[in-house]
Chains A and B, each alone.
Chain A
Amino acid sequence: MASNVVTRFMEKHAALSGKPHRVRSSAEAADAIADILAAIGAQRVALANLSQELSAAIERTLSGKVLELRKEPFPASTLPHAIDDCQAGITGMAFGIAQTATLAEIAVNDAQRLVSALPRTHIGIVHAKDVVETLEDAAPLLRSIFQQNPSNCTVSFISGPSRTGDIELKLTLGVHGPGEQHAIIIEE
């Protein structure tokens, strides 16, 4: 059942010019990330919203492969430039929606939003068990997120790369946000 949801997510994501990857563990996720970063030659990479386990796996794998990993906490005085300066941003996602190939990101600090918004490449990581079928299924999830964060909280739905059709209606990727958007789905 879960894998069907993942398949649907991946098909839709690819149709939206996204790049989906299915992996079996945090370690495999880190390997996939290393390959993506190597392909684009990223030297400075920002990380946000990741579990301890994922963060550790990524740091281990990328050690020596990239020049600099920038992690939370981001000093306020260096923002937004410290993130804009990165070629790739890697963020953990709260849940996914298969119907629309949406990755949902929870941010209680806007620096987390910038990691998925400023660099040219964004890699979002979600666990297969957190992928729901439809937008409708996402409503109760949103409700509980906002109840758990009664002061400030922003949830961002990200469905593929930044796009525009404003010139001659021709689809163009990456006008402001990432032109390359990866979804890594971990099935454990």
Chain B
Amino acid sequence: MADVHQAALKARIVKALEEPKHSAALLRCMQRGRDNRARALTELPGGADFRGTVKAVKDRCIEHQVELVNRFIANAEARGTRVFCARNGQEAIDYVLKLASDRKAKVIAKSKSLTTEEIEINDPLIEAGLKVIETDLGELIIQLVHEKPYHLVFPSVHKMAADVAKIFAKETGTEVSEDIPSIMKVVRAYLRPIFLNADIGMTGANVGIAENGCIVIETNEGNGRLVSSIGDCHVCVMGIEKIVDTIEDAMLMVLAHPVSASGQLPTTYVTWMGGRSPLGEGESRGPRESHIILLDNGRRSTRDDVAMRESLNCIRCGACMNVCPTYGVVGGHVFGHIYPGPIGIPWTAQVHGLENAGAFASLCISCGLCKEICPAEIDMPMMIAEVKRRFAVEHGFAKAERTMMGADGFAALGSAMAPIANRMIQSKTARKVMRATLGIDERRALPPFTHQTFKKWFHARKRVSQESKRRVAFFVDVFANHNRPDLGQSAVELLERLGCEVALPEQRSSGYPFIAYGNLDKAREVATFNIARLAPFAKDGYDIVATEPTAAYCLKSAYLTLLHSSNDSEFVAGRSHEFFEYLIDFDTGTTEFPSLKGRRFGFHISCHQRPLGAGHGAVEWIRRHGGEVKIIETGTCCGMGGTFGLKSGPLGYDLSMAVGKPLFDLFNQSGVDAILTESSVCAIQLREGTGLPVYHPLELLAQ
């Protein structure tokens, strides 16, 4: 069943891969968004710390939503604004249709509003004979070609100047030159009469303030100011989750929104609108009205849905799509329903239904980068996993997903039958069979299995007892256990040389694929098992150390979410470390070890490593041992996405290689001798994508 669903998505991915020009424009836009954000953060006194403050304010306002909505309505009405609570899109549309008909309106000028996109209000209004014009340039461009937003903040980013010139030439019936200043002149002239003659101005609102019944509209072009002031009737459509308590709360949003979206603080125009003002004096042109439509459309039930509630913290900045690796390749028409990108998955599930969300949720490779950039710290990866889980309850898991979630057992079998298994993964015929039966791409070089697993080695070896300064509980993941036990061995030996006593508690592999593909019940079972085994060690004073970034990420972050921050999971997280972040505190570089002088490495940060120190420990360790190392990055994923890139076809290998291409190019142009990365799966991807040797830093010990 799930495979049938994915077939349509795969066809759309194939089509997107054939349009590399769109992806190139989108990737430039995303890069610019990230760079500008980073620059803006240096201007903020607390830097990235504003994220915690935004989360706290949003959490508080959603918690008190019922009271805030009531207070907002009372205060807005006291200012003469009429407030209508719409349970769904249809009620909002009907309200506007009636308003337009009562006022005999002909022209509605709109300024950008995602909420009106959500309820697709334009079509029914146009069908009723109204002229409805989007006045934000990007929105206007896509309106004229009948498309949906490609990006939340830059909806027409996939249209080049030449395309835009053609669009306006067709619309205005005049010639339009392809340079941007000329296009702007045409746009200004085209929209001016619409602004001046609009009967109704329709906007969204970035914030509603309970304290005084004001709405806040942020724009850069100034269209929001014109739309909200000229027409005698102003209609604002806003979701109830936009309502905050105080002016101070609103000020924080006014700052957080553009910092995350485009690196501005704030947007050029911020309109704080409280009630409806007259236009001019004396003889009036008719009564001036202001209406606010407060939209529910699934928001109240989202608030009651524990796993999804945090999605209401979204402030629509689009930062998550500026960092999402697969979104950058396929764009918002494939990676989205109406709301695109990572946050688009839970939002689609809540307002447009699970079926629509499930249709593109598997594009999420669970790299976790969206969570790290989100101004409200929304745990999108886990929320998306929950959407995948709910979709799988209805439709099951796709074949390749089942394979990846069974990787543990598969690897155990591989180790047990190592010689045969290794011949199989080299054999073209066997690989074709594996594609058909398991969904593993035959172009992907798979790492060979070793007969002696790390665990077997650990328990079989002779230990020399010595006085220990530190006690370490080692956490090994599936790959290090079955495919590269040498890395775990090097880690253990190095720790022991530095005076640590190393223990190997009973454990299962991290189980991250269960999160990535949405089997959260299984993921929780694994987390419960591992935390129960590790917690006694943590309480006994052991430090828990993992060499695989994803394993460390599970211990420090994912298990906490899965187990709702149980005491034991908090305890384990507090004592868990990524190997080199741990080592760097006491390995001063004096251990006997071949010098790395004269060698030039490029370091790749795996996605799950970003919140754990972003490779700082490993890079510092290499430098202490004389190696030259520089971090080479695009700021997003290498494309492997854990096991995503092992899967066959467009929703796996093909997309994974397309995501990785810009990073492969950077490595190949960098002039380094070899690549270093701590992630076993990133290593597979980079080796294949660049043709360069790729090592785990621990391998350098043996060279």
Contacts and interface: CB of A to CB of B under 8 A. Distances in A.
B135 to A, nearest CB: 7
B351 to A, nearest CB: 26
Contacts of B222: 117, 162, 175-178
A183 to B, nearest CB: 13
Nearest to B226: A117
Contacts of B154: 165-166, 169
Contacts of B274: 146, 149, 152-154
A165 B282 contact: no
Given A109-B279, A109-B280, A176-B135, A160 B160 contact: no
B231 to A, nearest CB: 10
A143 B267 CA distance: 21
Interface stretch (B180-188, B235-243, B375-383, B504-512): B180-188
B666 interface: no
Interface string B128-153: 00000001111001000000000000
A120 to B, nearest CB: 9
Contacts of A152: 79-80, 274-278
Contacts of B312: none
Given A79-B279, A117-B225, A170 B180 contact: yes
Interface in B581-640: none
A56 B322 CA distance: 51
Instruction: Identify which of B160, B262, B266 gathers the most chain A CB atoms within 10 Å of its CB.
Output: B266
A167 B160 CA distance: 7
B455 interface: no
Nearest to A156: B271
Interface in A140-175: 142-143, 146-147, 149-170, 172, 174-175
Contacts of B254: 135
A71 to B, nearest CB: 11
B470 interface: no
B156 interface: yes
A139 interface: yes
Given A108-B277, A109-B279, A176 B180 contact: no
A170 B179 CA distance: 11
A89 B229 CA distance: 16
Contact of B251 (A113, A138, A162, A164): A138
A68 interface: no
Contacts of B229: 110, 113-114, 117, 154
Given A113-B229, A114-B229, A152-B277, A77 B248 contact: no
Contacts of B137: 164, 166-167, 175
Contacts of B255: 135
B181 A142 contact: no
Nearest to B209: A146
Contacts of B192: 84
A161 to B, nearest CB: 7
A3 B636 CA distance: 43
Contact of A176 (B159, B221, B275): B221
A26 interface: no
A51 interface: no
Contacts of A177: 221-223, 225-226, 268-269
A154 B157 contact: no
A7 B230 CA distance: 35
Contacts of B226: 114, 117-118, 176-177
Contact of A157 (B155, B164, B266, B280): B266
A114 B191 CA distance: 16
A168 B226 CA distance: 25
A34 B283 CA distance: 33
A146 B212 contact: yes
Contact of B247 (A80, A143, A162): A143
A169 B157 contact: yes
B321 to A, nearest CB: 15
Interface stretch (B24-32, B435-443, B522-530, B571-579): B24-32
Given A76-B284, A80-B279, A163 B271 contact: no
A176 B223 contact: yes
Nearest to A17: B268
Interface residues of B, number: 70
Interface in A46-67: none
Interface string A88-121: 0000000000011010000111110110011000
B225 A169 contact: no
B226 to A, nearest CB: 6
A188 interface: no
A146 to B, nearest CB: 5
Contacts of A165: 154, 220, 262
Interface string B249-289: 00100110000001001111111111111111111110000
Contact of A146 (B156, B157, B214): B214
Instruction: Identify which of A74, A79, A149, A167 gathers the most chain B CB atoms within 10 Å of its CB.
Output: A167
Contacts of A108: 277
A160 to B, nearest CB: 6
A139 B247 contact: yes
Given A153-B277, A157-B269, A136 B282 contact: no
Given A76-B280, A146-B212, A149-B274, A113 B161 contact: no
B275 A84 contact: no
Contacts of A142: 247, 251, 272
A4 interface: no
Interface string B174-201: 0000001101100110011001100000
Contact of B230 (A80, A156, A157, A167): A80
B184 A175 contact: yes
Contacts of B155: 166
B268 A159 contact: yes
Contact of A79 (B183, B251, B268, B280): B280
Nearest to A168: B161
Nearest to A160: B268
A83 B266 CA distance: 27
A80 B196 contact: yes
B262 A167 contact: no
B126 interface: no
A158 B270 CA distance: 7
Instruction: Identify which of B183, B225, B273, B276 gathers the most chain A CB atoms within 10 Å of its CB.
Output: B225
Interface of A: 16, 72-81, 84, 99-100, 102, 107-111, 113-114, 117-118, 135-136, 138-139, 142-143, 146-147, 149-170, 172, 174-178
30 contacts: A74-B281, A75-B280, A75-B281, A77-B282, A80-B230, A80-B279, A81-B196, A84-B192, A102-B266, A109-B277, A111-B280, A113-B225, A114-B230, A150-B79, A152-B277, A154-B277, A155-B272, A156-B271, A157-B269, A157-B270, A160-B268, A164-B137, A166-B156, A167-B161, A169-B154, A175-B137, A176-B191, A176-B195, A176-B221, A176-B222
Given A80-B195, A136-B251, 15 more contacts: A100-B266, A109-B278, A110-B230, A135-B251, A146-B212, A152-B79, A152-B278, A153-B277, A162-B220, A164-B184, A167-B137, A169-B154, A175-B137, A175-B221, A176-B221
Q: Would you list the 6 A-B pairs with minimal beta carbon distance, nearest first?
A: A177-B222, A76-B280, A152-B275, A73-B281, A166-B138, A157-B270
